Amino acid sequence: MYVYGFPRQVFTGWLSPIINLDEIIDISLYIYPVESRVVLENLRKKVGQLEASYTINQEKGRVRDPGLEAAIQDAEELRDKLQVGEERFFRFGLYLTMYAGSLDELTQINRKIEGIFGQSLVYTKPATLQMEAGFNSTTPLASDQLQISRNMNTGAISTAFPFTSAELSRNEGVLYGLNRHNNGLVLFDRFSLENANMVVFAKSGAGKSFAIKLEALRSLMMGAEIIVIDPENEYRTLSDAVGGSYLRLSLASSTRINPFDLPQVFDQEEADNALQANIITLHGLLRLMMGGATVNTNTGATLTTPLTPAEDADLDVAIINTYARAGITKDPLTHNATPPTMNDLYNTLASMTGNGPALAQRLRKYTTGTFSGIFSEQSNVQLDNPFLVFNIRDLEDELRPVGMYIALNYIWNKVKSDKRKRILIVDEAWQLMKYDDSANFMFSLAKRARKYYLGLTTISQDVEDFLSSKMGRAVVSNSSLQLLLKQAPSAVDIIAETFKLTNEERNRLTQFPVGEGLFFAGLNHVIIRILASQTEAELISTSPQALAAAREEQAAADQSRGGEVG
C-alpha cells in the first residue's frame, strides 16, 4: 500500500495510530531533499500562474474560488520561509506492507489501516500490479522502487516523525521495563497521575512479586519510602540489602502493634476527627476478631457471623469508655496520652452489663488466651526506616487477616501523621478482600491515599476472589496503574470484562511469558517486558532455581577464595 494524497494541513502524530497498531506491518518512509533554489524557481512560476488565474476570474466576474486563494497564500508563505532558510523542501514517500495468515484476515487489516488513514484525510491505494516493487520498497534495503512521493516542507515532514508510540516514557520516574510495541523504555512516575495506586494481577510464578520488588527498589533510590505487607517472607533479602527494617508479626516474635494508637496529625480538622476515625476502624477490626469466621462447604467462601445491633452498640460504648479511662477524649490535646490496649477494652466489656461480658469472652483469646500478646500490648514498632517490611507469614491462618488489618491501620495512622512520598505494597491482598470490614478498609485506603502522598500497590493471584467483591472492583477503579501478567484461563473472562480488554489483549493474557504482560497507566497501555540488571535480579528473585544457582555460585566463590588463602 502507498500513500498518494494528503490534506492541506496534517496534525502532529497522525502516523502514530498506524505505528502503534497491533498488527504485523512494515513501514518505510522515503525523504528526498530538494534544493531550495530549484523549489523557489518553480514556486515563482507557480505563483505567477495562480495569480494570473485569479486576475482572469476577477475580470470575468466569476465567483471567487477559495481553493485558488488558499493555494496562492500557501505558496507565498512557503516562498518567504524558504527564502530566509526557515524551511526546507522534500519529496516524501510512505509505503506499507501488511502480513496476515489468510486472505480474509489481510482484507480486514487493510480496511482497518485505510479507515485510520481516512480519518486524517490521508488517502492510500494498494500497489496493484506493482506488488513486488512495493514489497522491495519496504524492506531494509532503502530501495524505493515505487517512486510515488508528495512534496512537503520541513514542518509537514516533522508531523510524520516515526518514533512515537503508546509511550509511557517521561523525563522523570523509574524504569518499569521495555515497551514491546516499539522496544522503547517504559519510564514513568506513578505520582504524576490523578492517583498513584496500582493493582497487579497474575497467576503464581508469572513474575508479579519480581516486578513490584524491582519497582520498590528503584523507587527507593528515587527518594520514595517503601512499606510492605509481606505474607510469604519474599522481601527479606531485599530489605537486608538496602538496610531496611524487617518486622516479623507472629505469636513467637517480640513485635507488638497496638490498634488503639492514634495518629499525631497536625491538620486541625483531622486532629478533631482522629479519635472518631480510629474508633470506626476499631469497630471493623473487632468485628473481624469477634465475628467468628466459618467456611461455606459448598462454595468455599469465608463467612463471618455479624454482631447484632445491640452488641455493636455496646461495643461502641466500651471503646469510647476505654479511651476515656486512659484520659483520651475528642479534644486533640488529650491525644498524646498513653493509649489503652486490648486488655483495657476487655476489662471495660467485662465490667459492663448487657452484652459486655459475652463480648469480653469472645475477645478473651486475644488478651489472655491463645492469641494474647501480639495485639494486646503497647506498640514497640518504629516507622522511621525508608524501607519497612511487615512479615505475616508465621501468623496462624485465623490471625492473618487480623494481622494485615492491624498493620495496615498502624501504617495508615503513620501516613496521616507525616506526609511523605510513600508506596505501600499489600501482597496477596485477596486475603483481606474475603472479609467485608477489611475489604472496606482497603477501599478507604485506595480512595484517600492520594491526599497523603501515598501510592497503594495491591497484588493478588486469586483474581476471582478479588474481583468478585464489590470493594475489590472499587479498589481497581481507584487505581490509575494496572499490571496484568500471565493469567490462568479461568480468570481471563472476569479480567477482560473488568479492564475492557480487546480480543487480542484477552487472547494474549494466557500466553505471556514470565515477566511480560499488559501495563495500563491512565488512558495509555502497552505490552511490557520487565527488565532487571543482574545485581537487581539477585536481590529480588524468589525463583527456587535462581536461588539454588546463586548458592552454588557463592559456594564455588568461597571454595576458590579458600584455595587462594591456602
**Angstrom distance (rounded) from CA 215 to CA 212:** 5
State how beta strands 422-426 and 225-230 pair: parallel
**Angstrom distance (rounded) from CA 322 to CA 392:** 28
Percent of the chain predicted with pLDDT > 90: 15
pLDDT value of residue 296: 44
Q: Given pLDDT bands bounded at 50, 70 and 90, which one contains residue 292?
A: low
Instruction: Please report which residue ranges of 351-488 form alpha helices under DSSP H.
Output: 356-363, 400-417, 430-433, 436-448, 463-468, 470-477
Q: Given pLDDT bands bounded at 50, 70 and 90, which one contains residue 299?
A: very low
For the cut 60, the answer to whether the pLDDT of residue 504 exceeds it is yes
pLDDT in tens, 249-265: 888 888 888 888 887 76
**What distances in angstroms separate CA 529 from CA 148, 229, 423, 536, one per listed residue?**
38, 25, 22, 15
Contact call for residues 195 and 173 (beta carbons, < 8 A): no
**Cell numbers describing residue 25:** 506491518
Highest average pLDDT, of 12-16, 216-220, 424-428, 491-495, comes from 216-220
Collect contacts of 350-357 with beta carbons under 8 A, ≥24 apart.
352/314, 352/317, 352/318, 354/310, 354/314, 355/308, 355/310, 355/311, 355/314, 356/314, 356/318
Q: Where are the domains of the chain?
A: 2-158, 166-250+385-532, 256-380
pLDDT value of residue 494: 86
Residue that wins the pLDDT comparison between 295 and 221 = 221
Residue that wins the pLDDT comparison between 467 and 24 = 24
**What distances in angstroms separate CA 43 from CA 72, 86, 88, 185, one per listed residue?**
10, 16, 13, 43
Contact call for residues 239 and 364 (beta carbons, < 8 A): no
Name the CATH superfamily housing domain 166-250+385-532. Answer: P-loop containing nucleotide triphosphate hydrolases (3.40.50.300)
| Common-topology check for domains 166-250+385-532 and 256-380 | no
pLDDT value of residue 168: 62
For the cut 80, the answer to whether the pLDDT of residue 397 exceeds it is no
**Angstrom distance (rounded) from CA 518 to CA 522:** 13
pLDDT in tens, 110-166: 999 999 999 889 999 999 899 999 999 999 888 999 999 888 888 888 888 776 555
pLDDT in tens, 334-358: 888 888 988 999 899 898 888 888 8
* Average pLDDT over the chain, rounded to an integer: 82
For the cut 50, the answer to whether the pLDDT of residue 414 exceeds it is yes
Sign of CA dihedral 489, 493, 495, 500: positive
For the cut 60, the answer to whether the pLDDT of residue 319 exceeds it is yes
pLDDT value of residue 167: 58
Please list the residues that pair with 519 across neighbouring strands: 483, 526
pTM of the model: 0.63
Burial 37-51 (b: 16+ CB within 10 A, else e): eebeeebeebbeebe
For the cut 50, the answer to whether the pLDDT of residue 295 exceeds it is no
pLDDT value of residue 146: 92
pLDDT in tens, 449-496: 888 889 999 988 877 777 777 888 888 888 888 899 988 888 888 888
**What distances in angstroms separate CA 446 from CA 341, 440, 451, 458, one per listed residue?**
28, 10, 10, 9
Contact call for residues 510 and 495 (beta carbons, < 8 A): no
- For the domain spanning 256-380, the CATH number is 1.10.8.730
For the cut 70, the answer to whether the pLDDT of residue 557 exceeds it is no
Contact call for residues 326 and 342 (beta carbons, < 8 A): no
Largest CA distance in the chain: 109
pLDDT in tens, 528-540: 899 888 888 888 8
For the cut 60, the answer to whether the pLDDT of residue 544 exceeds it is no
pLDDT value of residue 558: 62
* Burial class for 379, CB neighbours closer than 10 Å (0-12, 13-18, 19+): middle
3-state secondary structure 208-260: HHHHHHHHHHHHHHCCCEEEEEECCCCCHHHHHHCCCEEEECCCCCCCCCCCC
For the cut 70, the answer to whether the pLDDT of residue 554 exceeds it is no
pLDDT value of residue 364: 87
Q: Which helix (H) or strand (E) holds 185?
A: strand 184-188
Q: Given pLDDT bands bounded at 50, 70 and 90, which one contains residue 509?
A: confident
H helix and E strand count, the chain: 21, 18
**What distances in angstroms separate CA 308 from CA 59, 104, 359, one per listed residue?**
96, 64, 11
